[in-house]
Structure 1
């Protein structure tokens, strides 16, 4: 009678006490050696970005006015309550939403039209593309000053000059010279932002158009699909991720915009968005705690939008990898 011996696998406790293979230890050392040059940059990034945010978070919990430093006291979450209940701050939130939504929608539509134009082959396409990208390369403050003085000025602005010339063609030699900024302040800010951010949307959507499968478009053309049908059923679904990415990134940038509002209207006439109101609260009212709380709210909102943007980008990368 023969007996068969079965070997039992070692228990997890025994396995944990066993030494790790030399190859695995070398792999871990090599991985740390690869990451080591990045550690100073990581430490610097944390020191520059995260420590100030932590300081802002701490200050937001205090009732702190720089004009009365001895009266500083812990306020808990009362500053955050004021952010959502103060009429001025609430109006600035609504202005921010309206400004962001209108600018993003306009830039996406115009960017899509320009991307469709540049996706076609024509003489001088490279020069046209460079000229259309130029507004995005201008410093935001310079762009706002350009619109305020070169275009909107009621005495020597180009808009009123063009208005006078068009009126002269119809026999009106002295037409009214509108003051564009005081007459429609929010539209004036929106127009400057649309002009500057449309090239950004155009670049994203143009990249999406040029990534379309050529065989799919050729098959649709051979099957007799019209240009509108190809755009509606093939191009537009393909651009969905790129449109989402453009909307999310555009929202992140426009929500934080300060330059155009500060330069063109100085926050007056109902154009004060949340970043400008935070500036007023901090530098003019000297309410450090309230301004810090509003800043934290903006950062959290921006992080939420950026999280969705990163998910869209990662999905785009996965789709491109699967297609390759």
Structure 2
């Protein structure tokens, strides 16, 4: 047989390209199974206690009267919305959250603009400014109450004595301002980091064009930088407000909700009803109402934030 008439060396010489093999669906499904225990554990730790809270909210259940539990329907929720202390705690919650977010964001923007410039020691300054956010809230409350606001040994009173102000008990005389000061000290680094990330992502071509056109630093910041940072500011406000709604540690360590109920917010009021009054049914109803209100407010804020980031309205999606 001639060389030119030899048959092909193998079956693949005349066959076309083999189709790509698809992985079996069962193998792809099995890859998700390692996450199942973690998901189940998360549900047990978070959702199961909330289910019991919802069930308890429909019962009259007081730990000081064992055996007296009975179903009361919506009576606990009726008591919540007719409770004057609950309305006062809700107003205090809004006051603390709004004041803290406003001041923390204003300081965060100012510090972010400062850190966006080059100067000697910028890395050290950035580390020092971030450090308050790493302090535990309970430690921060205790630190400010004893080392800063103490009327005898506090650093704030020591500094105020230079100007003729002597021995002011800030925590008792100005409880809301004292709590807001600690919360602003804690949350300013968080706002600063978000705004700083926005500043460092700003296109330099636009800033250079503004300088060429003769715009000064304030005009550039007012008309170019600040509108560009709007999305980052809204994100910081949203995340900060969601976390500040749960403020408990600072209030517990500094004021215990006082004087009177002046600094009693919703989490601290729930704690009082559950662990001081032992009224499980009423405190469960308070918790369900607080969670529901927080979810509604967060959903509305997320919708507004999504609109700001995408530039589309509700009718465009």
Give the TM-score of the pair, scaled to structure 2.
0.86
1:289 maps to 281
Q: CA distance change for structure 1 residues 310 and 48 in 2, over 3 Å: closer, same or farther?
A: farther
Aligned 1:95-114 pairs, distance under 5 A: 95-114=92-111
Quick check: 1:181–1:188 contact (8 Å CA) kept in 2?
A: yes
Larger fraction in helix: 1
Aligned 1:118-129 pairs, distance under 5 A: 118-129=115-126
Quick check: 1:249–1:309 contact (8 Å CA) kept in 2?
A: no
How many residues get paired? 291
- Give the Cα–Cα distance (whole angstroms) in 1 for the partners of residues 187 and 28 of structure 2: 41
Q: CA distance change for structure 1 residues 122 and 86 in 2, over 3 Å: closer, same or farther?
A: same
1:225 maps to 215
Aligned 1:73-152 pairs, distance under 5 A: 73-152=70-149
Displacement, 1:72?
1.2
1:215 maps to 205
**1:51-93, Cα deviation, whole Å (9 max, x unpaired):** 1111111111111111112221112122122222101111111
Gaps of at least 5 residues in structure 1 are 1-21, 168-174, 320-324
- Give the Cα–Cα distance (whole angstroms) in 2 for the partners of residues 24 and 94 of structure 1: 63
Displacement, 1:233?
1.9
The 4+ residue runs of structure 1 with deviation greater than 4 A are 22-27, 308-319
Secondary structure of the residue aligned to 1:70 is coil
Secondary structure of the residue aligned to 1:147 is helix
1:45 maps to 42
- More displaced 10-residue stretch of structure 1: 103-112 or 66-75: 66-75
- Give the Cα–Cα distance (whole angstroms) in 2 for the partners of residues 190 and 66 of structure 1: 34
Gaps of at least 5 residues in structure 2 are 1-18, 312-317
**1:12-47, Cα deviation, whole Å (9 max, x unpaired):** xxxxxxxxxx99984643442332221111111111
Q: Residue 69 in 1 paired to residue 66 in 2?
A: yes
Q: CA distance change for structure 1 residues 30 and 317 in 2, over 3 Å: closer, same or farther?
A: farther
Q: CA distance change for structure 1 residues 234 and 306 in 2, over 3 Å: closer, same or farther?
A: same
